[in-house]
Chain A
Amino acid sequence: MPVGLPFYLALSAVLFVIGGLGVLLRRDPLVMVMAIELMWNAANLAFVAAARHYGDMGGQVFVFVVITVAAADVAIGLALTVLLGRTRGTLDADRLKWLRG
């Protein structure tokens, strides 16, 4: 059986959901950033699979954009994590709730 587009999309969906659950369920900001990264890459996988399937380079071009943005995202996320650890002395997202209304 040839490995077609539906398989890639299914894998992409599984990865996306795992990443989303990671963001929602984990309380460590570092892990949450990693989970977000997983979601980015799930989307990337869907993009390249579709690009390959339809023979359109647009999807691959978009992946480069996403990778760039994801890099910036990681940089900010890690910087925030480090700063939080230093200034608040904790890395539990549920305890960082002083923006409560």
Chain B
Amino acid sequence: MTLLLPLAGALILSLLRLPRRVQGLVGAGSILLAFLSGLLMVSSGGGPGPYPFAAHGALSQPGVEVQLGTWLAAGTLRIPLGLWVDGLTAVFVLVITGVGFLIHVYSLGYMAGESDADYGRYFASMNLFVAAMLLLVLADSFPLLLVGWAGVGFTSYLLIGFWYTRPAAVVAARKAFILNTVGDVGLILAIALMAARLGTVDFTGVLGPAGAAALAAHPAVATWIGLLLFVAAAAKSAQLPLQAWLSDAMEGPTPVSALIHAATMVTAGVYLIARTQAVYAASPAAAAWAGDLGALTAFAAATVGVFSYDIKRLLAYSTMSQVGYMISGVAFGAVAAGVSHVVTHAFFKALLFMAVGLVMHAVSDERDMRRMGGLARRLPLARWGFLAGALALAGIPPFAGFWSKDAVMGGLLHGGDLFAYALLALAALLTPFYIFRAYYLTFGGKYRGEGEVHPHASRSLQWPTVVLAVLAVVGGIFAVLLQSGWGTALDPGSMAISTVLALIGWGAAWSIYRGGDIRADAWTAGALGAAVRSEYGWEGLWQGALVRPAHGVAAWLLGAWEGRAWPAAQSATAAGAAALGHGLSLWQSGLVRRYALSMFCGAALLLLWALVR
């Protein structure tokens, strides 16, 4: 039910031509109903007692599988078609539909300027995205998960390129799609490896006791599966080395960035790794690769965030960084911490994007912080919303982010990977710095832009922002409940370290930027800043290693093949046909007697053939 409602919404919106109000109603309403049915599912079905938030240890209960039939059966391999519900799924379903609903409501106001057809297209794509994401987390086998996996990649492509008349948006959409496809290939290869070596591709078979025993018996297989799954997760969650698409994806509408590129889709990688704990438990090597690359992403993206001018890109780097925390956490076995960070991050990052959306609406879609400033008084809601999100992101207690981010770091400290812990601690120092830099530059000081500031926020823009702001403040309660539900305890020592780090970062930002003066930011303008902003030349590396050779091959094909060889082949064919026709036309002499002779010869040959045979 949860799954079908958004799908139905997408179908209705894409097939029928509806008036604008109905489009909005269907778009947001289907997600609300999905959220309610998700709540119902979690509180009634699913498992023992009202979970996930009540019974101690309920989250680690085995899942409930709803078999709908067999999708494919080939030889001994059977791919079931069914749904799988356990604590992990329940958390994701509620986040996807809950935050998704708020963002749909926000979109009602945010996209009001679009034409009727585009408005419907927008909500159809959004609903389709939610449906694909729900399929991803509800699937009971890896192939079915792949369907949702590719589905969110595709709808993300649709929504990044929503403004398809802007070249930058189209290029960004294509880039996101291509890099996501790399991840899809990783997932397909992982599935193939499971099918070949384990003989099964459903969750019960691979992740259950039998699968765990098989994986433990073949550590090399477990390592390969783990690495391939990490490739998939890295592409979807914008982790090194496949991170390059996320910052460009900010070309899409801001609510899209909030829903897909902050709250839900980029956390699909976290879900995948959390789901396949059995694989990573069997292969410490794969877990270390995934966790260390996640931690490296968390740190590297945070440094890029420090130097960003484009406020949406800054949030995108922040997302990469935070997802790096989650990946690192779940890869090193701190599942509860990583997943609770997914929840709180969905709250505060969606909130930050909504606040930025309000700002962009007011300053005619300006995204450069250097042309903002002084907006605190004009946009109080955006200001307070952004502040709440920033405090939560920075990990200042008692805001939401603190409880989950700290849990990740505490988990790593106990998991014993000090390299990853050090990177995450540095990132935790940088995070408050970059987000408060953005806060002071955007809302403090004097207005530096040229255009008029005209705040206009309809009610549908306002109340989701308020709800998420409240969640960003108190959402830590969910994180704590989740972790106790999973049976992990908080660690006071690590909490103290994190708090000190966050306060140092905030203090540094405050001492430099508190006046909101852009001159304080001069130090980011140099060559170092430019180098960091280009993601340490990563973009250039892709360009040099892949894009430019591909262009070269394309140009060669265009010139040598399309330009010369192919036309030559074409005219050779034409000339051959003409010559053949001319030769045959000599036969048509028009002489009756020659025709008669041909007939006689033919008849004689037939006769001869009949005799000889």
Residues of A within 8 A of B (CB): 20, 23-25, 27, 32, 93-94, 96-101
Cβ contact within 8 Å between A94 and B585: no
Interface positions, chain B 584-613, Cβ under 8 Å from A, are: 584-593, 596-597, 600
Cβ contact within 8 Å between B585 and A101: yes
CB contacts (< 8 Å) of A96 on chain B: these are 590, 592
Bound Cα distance A98, B256 (Å):
76
Q: Is the interface of B mostly helix, strand, loop or mixed?
A: helix
Bound Cα distance A97, B179 (Å):
71
Cβ contact within 8 Å between B596 and A97: no
Cβ contact within 8 Å between A100 and B593: no
Cβ contact within 8 Å between A101 and B587: yes
A–B Cβ pairs within 8 angstroms, 28 of them: A23-B593, A23-B596, A24-B593, A24-B596, A24-B597, A27-B593, A32-B592, A93-B591, A93-B592, A94-B591, A94-B593, A96-B590, A96-B592, A97-B589, A97-B590, A97-B591, A97-B592, A99-B588, A99-B590, A100-B588, A100-B590, A100-B591, A101-B584, A101-B585, A101-B586, A101-B587, A101-B589, A101-B590
Q: How far in angstroms is the closest Cβ of chain A from B409? A: 90
CB contacts (< 8 Å) of A99 on chain B: these are 588, 590
Cβ contact within 8 Å between A98 and B593: no
Q: How far in angstroms is the closest Cβ of chain A from B203? A: 74
Please name the residue on chain A nearest to B588 by beta carbon. Answer: A101
Interface centre among B593, B596, B597 (most CB of A within 10 A): B593
Bound Cα distance A20, B590 (Å):
19
CB contacts (< 8 Å) of A98 on chain B: these are 590
CB contacts (< 8 Å) of B597 on chain A: these are 24
Bound Cα distance A99, B591 (Å):
8
Q: How far in angstroms is the closest Cβ of chain A from B574? A: 20
Interface centre among B584, B589, B590, B597 (most CB of A within 10 A): B590
Q: How far in angstroms is the closest Cβ of chain A from B78? A: 66
CB contacts (< 8 Å) of B596 on chain A: these are 23-24
CB contacts (< 8 Å) of A27 on chain B: these are 593
Bound Cα distance A27, B593 (Å):
8
Additional 14 contacts, C-beta under 8 A, given A24-B593, A25-B593, A97-B589: A20-B600, A23-B596, A24-B597, A27-B593, A32-B592, A93-B593, A94-B591, A94-B593, A97-B590, A98-B590, A100-B588, A100-B589, A100-B591, A101-B588
Q: How far in angstroms is the closest Cβ of chain B from A34? A: 14
Bound Cα distance A93, B593 (Å):
8
